Amino acid sequence: MSHVTATRQVPVASQRESDPVRVAVIGLGRMGSDHVERIVNDVAGAAVVAACDPDEGSRQRHERRFGITTFTDPEAMLDGCPVDGVIIASPGHLHVAQVLSCLERDLPVLCEKPLAPSVADGRQIIEAEVARGRRLIQVGFMRRFDDHLAELVATVHADEIGVPLLVHCVHRNPSVRPTYVSENSLDDSLTHEIDQLRWLLNDEIVAVNVLVPTSTPKAPHLADPKLILLETASGVLADVEMYVNATYGYEVRCEVVGSEGTASTHIGEGPMVRRSGQVHQRVDANWGQRFGASYRRELAAWVAGVGSGRITGPSAWDGLVTSHVAAAAVESYRTGQRVPVDVLETPALYQ
Ligand code: ISE
């Protein structure tokens, strides 16, 4: 396959309902590559027809393995290849320009989180989507497609434990990439809990306080772990343990304390085995293992949305509000102070 660099604008061919949804992927790093593989193997009604990445080795691997046409430049790909939707899995600082480019072409997007590194960038995306008058963006908060979390949310929404008062969250990674800096556990990893709390509580976060205990000797260059306290408008207090060098495995947990009971997620998928005076249960190795099924459901929902012309799932507004709260968390970490968070006015498109 060639690394096409066409600049000609090719109109998107009209589709028949039975044709697979034609997907292009921007960014063939870990996330992008996993998405390609999941679409090819596990998502019915979709085909990855093009992908782009600056790395030649990665492009060649995807050409050989999946027969995809690859490009070095996203604009050339969008101009040269008719597609129905675009997955953006490039580094966060490239998202704004790439999302805007897709919106200009009226193309639905599944954008990995964080939607944009700064609130100002996120605002540009919101303005562009609002100007088009319909939702074209889904943000990659895959936890909303997780069975365990969805059951917990349903239990709380059904009023089974009364009024939520406290939430305890745990988010542990075995280790992180060498380029990970202390702020990334707030502006990247914590974004999942920020979105999860808004979804779970139907409430907005109004203050954040980041506390840092003694750091692990495993990663002396990082402030790790961190304890984050989030306050919501209705007065719920949530604590999040963010620990990205937990070494033993990957774990995400959530417990809600209500006025009439508590509800929490399962600890893991496997059975709990009691033998020879001990109890054993498998701990997931990484987020791909823990959330593999959630990613598949997320992709299937997005593909269905592209096919029907109705994108649902976590919105660009959810992405923007999350970045807004994460920015306050970074400020709290840097200043050592509790930081109040303004509640942003939700545009009609997202209500
Ligand atoms: C990481 O930052 C991610 O992006 C993953 O989505 C998440 O599951 C992981 O725990 C984070 O640390």
pLDDT digits over 9-68, tens only?
A: 333 444 556 789 999 999 999 999 999 999 999 999 999 999 999 999 999 999 999 999
C-beta atoms surrounding 251 within 10 Å: 18
pLDDT confidence band for 344 (50 / 70 / 90): very high
Q: Residue 216: phi, psi to the nearest 5?
A: -65, 140
In single-letter form, the type of residue at position 296 comes to R
In single-letter form, the type of residue at position 138 comes to Q
Q: Edge to edge, what strands does the sheet with 237-243 contain?
A: 262-264, 251-258, 164-172, 237-243, 226-232, 205-211, 339-340
Ligand 1: does its nearest atom lie under 6 Å from the Cβ of 187?
no
Cα of 45 to ligand 1 centre, how many Å?
28
Residues whose CB is less than 8 angstroms from the CB of residue 168 and which lie 6 or more positions away in sequence, other chains included: 238, 239, 253, 254, 255, 257
pLDDT digits over 291-325, tens only?
A: 999 999 999 999 999 999 999 999 999 999 999 99
pLDDT confidence band for 115 (50 / 70 / 90): very high
Higher pLDDT, 7 or 145: 145
CATH architecture under which domain 21-142+293-322 falls = 3-Layer(aba) Sandwich (3.40)
- 79 by DSSP, 3-state: which? helix
pLDDT at position 267, please? 72
pLDDT digits over 62-88, tens only?
A: 999 999 999 999 999 999 999 999 999
Residues 251, 283 contacting (CB under 8 angstroms) = yes
pLDDT score of 1 more than 80: no
**Any idea which fold 144-284 has?**
Dihydrodipicolinate Reductase; domain 2 (3.30.360)
- Ligand 1 pocket test: pick from 172, 187, 188 the residue with the most ligand atoms within 8 Å of its Cβ: 188
The domain segmentation of the chain, as residue ranges, is 21-142+293-322, 144-284
Higher pLDDT, 271 or 94: 94
Distance between CA atoms of residues 28 and 61, nearest Å:
10
Atom number of ligand 1 nearest to Cα 290: 8
Cα of 287 to ligand 1 centre, how many Å?
7
Cα of 99 to ligand 1 centre, how many Å?
21
Residues 24, 78 contacting (CB under 8 angstroms) = yes
pLDDT at position 9, please? 32
